Amino acid sequence: MIYICPVCGKVLQPSGGSLKCEVGHSFDVARSGYVNLLLSKHMGKVVHGDNKLMLNARRKFLEKGYYSPLRESLCDEVRTRFSGKVLLDAGCGEGYYTSAVAETANWAEVYGCDISKIAVELAAKRDKRTHYFAGSVFHLPVVGRSCDMLVTMFAPYCGEEFRRVLRPGGIMIIAIPSVNHLWELKKKLYDIPYKNEVKPYELEGFDFVGSRRITYKMELRSSEDIMSLFAMTPYYYRTEPARAASLEALDGLDITADFELLTYKITAKND
């Protein structure tokens, strides 16, 4: 295992139904299989990760396969780039992508981390192959240089921590929304819709390996699917009630999915 104690930084070892460090700090493994390594000082001021509404909406939407081309592309990239032992999904949510990656890299130790305890509990219930834990990507309770690959799907980016946990030669894959993602949805919500800004690919401490763009039309044929997609986006909390009601009245909408998978290798000077 790659866990370290979030209190003192010592290595955690299994002990009965808990993880313990040599100092004596102990963390119980939940019945569902995940472990909570999130300290209160790392939780933030308001909501810790996605709330139940967003998680349930996302799970409903993803289980219908609307983002399966992205998941398949991620698995193909993992299959091509990964030959190590340990893979970490930093910001794993309810495990939709993590579980597929774990099946693809079935020889590896796969870990999934999210700040939402609700999310990692859902992930652990659906995927017994992966080690799930609650934690902050800005304070990963993970041994330094222990990961051969790190995947982060639309989660906050923390370069310092990601560089710390990756081994020499380690690979990082990042998923981002590209310029046209959800364009038709935004046209329904805003008088002046805007394209997504894609920032320069360069990241400190990493060599850029390449990008893969995944673009296709999603044919949403029910109000439920439209509203599930809407509820899993930040737009849900920024939209006027009248606009949301007009969206809910629709019984179908074709929406562009537009993603990029960016692959990096940690630079030699960080090795």
- Give per-residue pLDDT as tens, 45-55: 444 456 788 88
Domain spans, the chain: 40-270
pLDDT score recorded for residue 40 = 75
Q: Over range 12-29, report the average pLDDT.
A: 95
Q: Both ends of the chain: CA-CA distance in Å? A: 21
Decide if 146 contacts 4 (C-beta within 8 A): no
- Fold of the domain built from segment(s) 40-270: Rossmann fold (3.40.50)
Rounded Cα gap, residues 189 and 23, in angstroms: 54
Report CA-CA distances (Å) from 132 to 94, 190, 214, 223, 240.
Answer: 10, 38, 28, 33, 37
The mean pLDDT value for 212-217 works out to 98
CA distances from residue 224 to 108, 119, 190, 240 in whole angstroms, order as listed: 37, 21, 20, 19
Q: Which residues pair with 88 in a beta bridge?
A: 111, 150
Distance of CA 20 to the CA centre of its chain: 27
Count of C-beta atoms within a 10 Å radius of residue 40: 7
Tens-place pLDDT, residues 186-213: 999 999 999 999 999 999 999 999 999 9
- Share above pLDDT 70 across residues of the chain, in percent, rounded to a whole number: 95
With a cut of 90, say whether residue 29 has pLDDT above it: yes
* pLDDT at 84 > cutoff 60: yes
Could you give the 3-state DSSP secondary structure of residue 53? helix
Predicted pLDDT at 271: 57
**Cβ 3 vs Cβ 133: under 8 Å:** yes
Q: Is the pLDDT of residue 59 over 80?
A: yes
Contact 98, 92 (CB under 8 A): yes
Compute the C-alpha angle 82/148/105, nearest 5°: 40
Q: What is residue 45's predicted lDDT score, i.e. its pLDDT?
A: 46
pLDDT tens digits along 148-161: 999 999 999 999 99
Banded model confidence at residue 248, pLDDT cuts 50, 70, 90: very high
Residue 254 has pLDDT above 90, yes or no: yes
Residue 214 and residue 70: Cα distance in Å, rounded?
7
Please, what is the average pLDDT of the chain? 94
Q: What whole-number distance in Å separates Cα of residue 179 and Cα of residue 5?
A: 40
